[in-house]
Chain A
Amino acid sequence: MLRPVLIAFFLMMYGPAVTAEPSDVYSFDTQQEEQRFHNLISELRCPKCQNQNIADSNAPISKDMRDEAYQMMSDGASDEEIVGALVARFGEFVRYKPQVERRTLLLWATPVIAVLIGLLVVAGIVIRARRNDETGTALTDEERERASRILAGDSSDRTS
């Protein structure tokens, strides 16, 4: 009675773990190397499934790119060399972090420009408010007196 239940239980527990095998396994000498490889492939974009990096993508082209990155890393290439080699084949598109150059300058500068525009707007509002203060939109003594009379409930002073 208990055995089938136990078997079913273990199947449920371990079934998915057994079937979900990683599609490709790379071996590294050190943890740092593994981390470096992972960082590298997380920053490269898959040309086929365009909103995924090659670390997450199952597309064959992503596997080819991971293999190439791994191979080059094993041969002692630097990160820049690996990314450069892939960019030479697939174009700037595969970089998630575009390089700062003339073509991408506006892209990188946009946040700074937006903040500056915001500061200008705030400064403009503040300056205008100050200027209004100085040019005397505030109440004169006579007006203030009248206002306090109205607030005190003396309706005889109301103009309307």
Chain B
Amino acid sequence: MKRMFLFIPVVLAAVLGVVLFAGIGKDPNKLESALIGKPVPEFLLTDLHDEGRELDPELFKGQVSLLNVWGTWCPACRDEHDDLVWLAEEKGIRIVGLNYKDNRDDALDWLDKLGDPYQVSIYDPRGRLGFDLGVYGAPETYVIDAEGIVRHRHVGVVNEKVWEQDLEPLIEQYREKI
């Protein structure tokens, strides 16, 4: 019995080791969105390409979309841009752009030069919709299902690996539900 007690420190160390090991490689900067399973927040913002056209959450109804939050001030957005164009052109994904805390002319310039992967572009110069979505660092990419419900958030750059591992399976899954 007494000998058993001698093993307690070893057991404790092993348990602690397992707990700490489980944390290795997890990025603490990636937070689960508070909006998973909830509809896209209400908004009424103009189209980036057309000041006179107002957009609201209805634009998500009817098909599964990616909602990509970007700005010309954001270097990582430049990184992922080519991959977004690839997704839109090669994979036929519907990407909705949320131009976040940006300037209309700069944004249009950027899309002119680098290509426009967005079927719809929402212009949010003051970041209201971004704030309501809980955006804390661009770029962020959301999977929105055909009912306008937020299903997933990816913080950081979208590339082929992220697409294959996270986004594509979800898009497939929610497309089947239509």
Contact = CB atoms under 8 A, between A and B. Distances in A.
B137 interface: yes
B134 A50 contact: no
Contacts of B101: 60
Interface of B: 28-29, 31-35, 101, 127, 131-137
A89 B34 contact: yes
10 contacts: A47-B134, A48-B136, A50-B29, A64-B131, A89-B34, A90-B136, A91-B31, A91-B32, A91-B33, A93-B31
Chain A interface bracket (under 10, 10 to 19, 20 to 34, 35 or more): 10 to 19
Nearest to B31: A93
B31 A89 contact: no
A56 interface: no
B134 A91 contact: yes
A91 B136 CA distance: 11
Interface string A75-113: 000000000000111111100000000000000000000
A11 interface: no
Contacts of B32: 91
A64 B31 CA distance: 18
B34 A87 contact: yes
Interface string A31-54: 000000000000000011010000
Contacts of A90: 31, 34, 134, 136
Contacts of B137: 48, 61
A89 B127 contact: no
B34 A61 contact: no
B121 to A, nearest CB: 21
B151 to A, nearest CB: 16
A29 to B, nearest CB: 26
